[in-house]
Amino acid sequence: MPELPEVEVVRSGLAPAVTGARVTGVAVLDERALTRHPAGAADFAARLEGAVIAGARRRGKFLWMPLQREPHALIAHLGMSGQMLLRAPGATAERHERIRLGIEHPRHGRLAVVFADQRTFGSLAVDDLIADGDGLVPAQVGHIARDPLEDGFDEGAVIAALRRSASGVKRLLLDQRVVSGIGNIYADESLWAAGIHPETPGRRLSVASVQRLLDEVRLVLEKALAEGGTSFDAQYVNVNGEAGYFAHSLNSYGRTGEPCARCGTAIVRVSFMNRSSHFCPRCQRRR
């Protein structure tokens, strides 16, 4: 599933092309891509056609494009395999294409923004904007916490939330009410870097340990972002269809049986919340 670095790569690729662009047409090819827009395809198209996009923003795994002079935004959740692609107008339909927006930019001219999704767990929607601190976010995003790379991230509040909980620290890192955008891959990588077992209860961690963990979370996310995100297959790509290469920098996730880069002990994999956790049993001893 695309996580914060992958969604940020997509956002930064879209921003120059969509900011200031007018939506000239909307083609919904598969209404399964509108599960987050219950009013249906006709309403979705009517709300977008003729609107001017004011920018591209992100929180955690959500991406949205506010509309100028409208209290609404086009919001995207990529789900497991969603892709937002920039294409020339009239370009051949993408495999698994679900929705296509025609846009016209004052400088870049006409383009197509394509939403493709193999597994159909992702969705687009037009959502109302609501107040969130000193800004506005879509209503569907209002319930999730800020992510570690976002302005206004309250590190002190996150440290306090982790340290008062009896839940395992990895479960807490994946709780969108505590902190958003980390996801399974980057939780494993951050815990490995901090030398913390994923099942360590939050309340057993010192302030210094949680601070170190959050520092590693930022470093891992920033490195993944610099390397274009993590691509294990063709499902995650940037707006130009190119894969990220952070998979080559992973130290724990997906490295079952391989030697730990720090101590040489074999990385282990255990079942976790219908997923998997990967860690070094020596470097990350459970308390």
Question: Pick the catalytic residue: 57, 61, 87, 163?
Answer: 61
Sequential DSSP letters for 72-114: EEEEEE-TTTEEEEEE-TTPPPPTTEEEEEEEEETTTEEEEEE
CA angle 250, 63, 66 (to 5 degrees): 155
Q: Catalytic residue at 155?
A: no
Rounded CA gap, 185 and 188, in Å?
Answer: 5
176: left (phi over 0), alpha (psi -120 to 50) or beta: alpha
The pLDDT of residue 80 is 84
The residue whose two tokens read 């995207």 is 76
Question: Pick the catalytic residue: 2, 66, 138, 148?
Answer: 2
Q: Catalytic residue at 275?
A: yes
The residue whose two tokens read 């990529």 is 78
Q: Catalytic residue at 3?
A: yes
Question: Pick the catalytic residue: 3, 6, 97, 216?
Answer: 3
pLDDT tens series, the chain, 287 aa = 678 888 888 999 999 999 999 999 999 999 999 999 999 999 999 999 999 999 999 998 899 999 998 999 999 999 888 899 999 999 999 999 999 999 999 999 999 999 999 989 999 999 999 999 878 999 999 999 999 999 889 999 999 999 999 999 999 999 999 999 898 999 999 999 999 999 999 999 999 999 999 999 999 999 988 887 664 444 555 566 665 546 677 899 989 999 999 999 999 999 998 889 999 999 999 87
- Gyration radius of the chain over CA positions: 20
DSSP label at 259? B
Domain 155-279, CATH class in plain words? mainly alpha
* Domain spans in the chain, listed from the N-terminal domain onward: 4-141, 155-279
Please provide the CATH number assigned to the domain covering 4-141.
3.20.190.10
- How is residue 142 written in tokens? 């209002």
Q: Catalytic residue at 2?
A: yes
What's the pLDDT tens digit per position in 72-86?
999 999 988 889 999
The pLDDT of residue 170 is 97
